[in-house]
Structure 1
Amino acid sequence: MASSAPAIAPSDAGTPGNMADVRRNNLALVLGRVVQSPAGFHLTRAQLAAATGLTKASVSSIVLDLLDAGILREVGLSRHGERGRPGVGLELNPSRGVMGMEINVDYIAAGVTRLSGELVVKDVLERDNRDSASDAVMSALAGLASGVRQAASALGLDVLGGGLAVPGLVEAGSSTVTVAPNLGWVDTKLDVARLLPGVPLGVSLFNEANAAALAELAHSPGRRDFMFISGEVGVGGGLVLNSELFTGPEGNAGEVGHIVVDPEGAPCSCGGTGCLETVAGQDAIFSAAGITVKGRTRTESMADLLGDLAAGSPAAVSAVQRAGRALGVAVASASRVVNVRAVVLGGHFAILDRWLHGPLLESLAKYAPGALSPEHVITSTVGDAGALLGAAGSVVRALVEAPHRLQA
């Protein structure tokens, strides 16, 4: 898992007045090194001292704090890169976890990961959340999260905190959804604390597509610059530039679903006209394909669409190809602005890739020739768990940057 822990060297100790800050920074530095170590490679205290530039005594004291807080655990002797007597290896405590949660238009979900990012337990409940009061949706999610937390506890995992992903714009550093058009929420304050009562790290709020983009980054560390596009009832996007999520000055960058692809097209939930979402959103595709949505689950409707596509239904094939062409127009426009060289498709775009991929590439070749190589338009590596994994991973990143929050 990538870490953004600050690299504070001993020379930055400064004056006695800020020693507490130095201590916190060095905690983050040491923990960040452990998080960055390859799977199966257990750094020792001596190796951490060499890697961080801190003294062995400082590292030993910091490691003791992290062990006491339950963030790290010792895993026996390690001979990796050491001469003489082997040291005691360290790893993230596998009995500590975080929960990722998601509210989408037609489902809610919750899952617990270990601090290493491994998804241990997950549950999804299909539920029509269109124009539902936020309290009702949060009550349903709280019940789902409670069951998942109990299941994780039965496996020996203690949940330290959580992240909630929603399909809309969120106010940075708060629990307010600025606008989620497909949910009908505007300036909606969510009582996120009710989802995981008593956890020391609390619950943070994230945009769904941004969270999924971070999950892709964590599980594809060699991919430094890409645009993630999530296909659900709405269409979301997340931008990763130089291995960092780019959200813009107000946190709203990457809204590829509201790029205009048909100026004379249908009204969009955002208030605009002809947005990508009106052509390539899940409901838009179902409607164009003649698939019934009302009174049915998304799984049932998607199964019907896939069946029709496999049978060569003209309406279904035309609907998906039109969505692919529109998606290509949006990607072409976005790529010209942000100069990304890779696109990762999630949600129903990944499910429908077999029929959508060709028209998408045709649009790219027509409207942005040479901007993106076909081999760099790929489907998600994390699948439908992306938003959960990204929200949970963001909690771990926050812990890495401030591990003192778990100290007694």
Structure 2
Amino acid sequence: MKRVLAVDVGGTKFAAAVVAQDGTVAIRSERVHLDADPDAVLAAVVADVLAGPVDAVGIGTAGPLDPVTGTVSPVNIPNWRDFPLADAVRRLTPNRPAVAIAGDAQCMAIGECWRGAAPAGRAVLGVVVSTGVGGGLILDGRPYLGPTGNAGQLGHMTIDPGGPPCPCGNLGCLEVLASGPAMVRHALALGWTPRTAADAAELAADAARGNAAALAAFDRAGEALAVAFQTTAAMCDLDAVVVGGGVAAAGPVLLDPIRRGLARRGGLAFARRFDVRIGALGRDAGLVGAAALAFAQVSADPPLRTEAVV
């Protein structure tokens, strides 16, 4: 049975895993790179799981990215600009296998469609709500990466034209309204006082306990996400939206305001028919999707077809 290396590059954490051809995660590691050298953390997390050759490598990464050169410029990793990620990971593997690369949310969508909560329908939006907000599209049953490999950048969709500036250079992006750090900033501005850490996990716990400022932060984020989902549905005729990422662990605290935001909107019936659900694979969704990218390069019966290889 073939085995591949899967790597998931996020805004604050890197994960790596060796994945079997049935989608089983054989061994997994995750490390935080915040305030640390991301190159060193990348090498360490791959070394944690890699004990020998693998048949291929799949990478899901925060973007934007260039799938032709394998370079990335993640908005939330400022010292990685035009970083040769595919080559860097390839050098960390003993037999220098083929490397496939796509956006982290795209990989999450692929993983949920292959082994998770996404339905067998033709049009699915996968959304990662974490340090940033990412999106990945499955259209006509296949990943849609776009001409530059960056399709589905939901986090940089304009929600509020007069809204706060985003590190990407735009104003009022979804990411500055609905990411975990954005929710925390909004709650703090409303007077929220965290007991331990000022992070999205504690904010979600306080919202579940009825804290008004925490609930208001999730309400604002849910409204922004609802706008983004319905706008995407109007463009892509979605069957489902699957939400993952660290903030998705909040469950109903996040889903309920999204659903309320959708219920407040009218619109054409086809753009309202999708459902919204939390992903089934948790923190492994991006790794499973990255593994699917890798198997597409080396398997006679891959879980999907894609050309995202460098």
Same fold (TM over 0.5): yes
Report the secondary structure of 1:228's partner residue: strand
Report how far residue 401 of structure 1 moved: 5.5
CA shift in 2, pair 1:239/1:324, >3 Å: same
Tell me which of 186, 195, 207 is aligned to 2:92.
195
1:236 aligns with 2:130: no
1:363 aligns with 2:261: yes
Q: Percent identity?
A: 31
> Which residue type is aligned with residue 276 of structure 2?
V
> Which residue type is aligned with residue 124 of structure 1?
E
Q: Which moved more, 1:168-177 or 1:233-242?
A: 168-177
Contact 1:174 1:205 in 2 (8 A): no
1:99 aligns with 2:5: yes
Q: Distance in 1 between matches of 2:173 and 2:83?
A: 24
Report how far residue 237 of structure 1 moved: 0.4
Q: Distance in 1 between matches of 2:127 and 2:135?
A: 4
> Which residue type is aligned with residue 102 of structure 1?
D
Q: Distance in 2 between matches of 1:378 and 1:146?
A: 34
Q: Distance in 1 between matches of 2:160 and 2:168?
A: 15
- The equivalences for 1:7-406 within 5 A come to 93=1, 96-128=2-34, 136-150=37-51, 159-177=54-72, 179-184=73-78, 185-190=80-85, 191-199=88-96, 201-219=97-115, 220=118, 222-290=120-188, 301-369=199-267, 370=269, 371-373=271-273, 376-400=275-299
Report the secondary structure of 1:218's partner residue: helix
Larger radius of gyration, structure 1 or 2? Answer: 1
Unaligned runs of 5+ in 2: 303-310
Report how far residue 349 of structure 1 moved: 4.6
CA shift in 2, pair 1:331/1:368, >3 Å: farther
Aligned length: 291
Higher relative contact order (CA 8 A, sep 6+): 2
> Which residue type is aligned with residue 119 of structure 1?
V
CA shift in 2, pair 1:138/1:194, >3 Å: farther
State the TM-score, normalized to the length of structure 2.
0.85
Contact 1:343 1:377 in 2 (8 A): yes
Q: Distance in 2 between matches of 1:384 and 1:262?
A: 30
Q: Distance in 1 between matches of 2:300 and 2:164?
A: 45
Report how far residue 327 of structure 1 moved: 0.4
Contact 1:228 1:344 in 2 (8 A): yes
Which has the larger helix fraction? 1
CA shift in 2, pair 1:247/1:395, >3 Å: same
Report how far residue 380 of structure 1 moved: 0.7
Q: Distance in 1 between matches of 2:119 and 2:218?
A: 31
Report how far residue 196 of structure 1 moved: 1.5
Report the secondary structure of 1:180's partner residue: coil
> Which residue type is aligned with residue 372 of structure 1?
R
CA shift in 2, pair 1:349/1:223, >3 Å: farther
Q: Distance in 1 between matches of 2:208 and 2:260?
A: 22
Report the secondary structure of 1:389's partner residue: helix
CA RMSD between the two structures: 2.5
Contact 1:175 1:192 in 2 (8 A): no
> Which residue type is aligned with residue 65 of structure 2?
V
Report how far residue 103 of structure 1 moved: 1.8
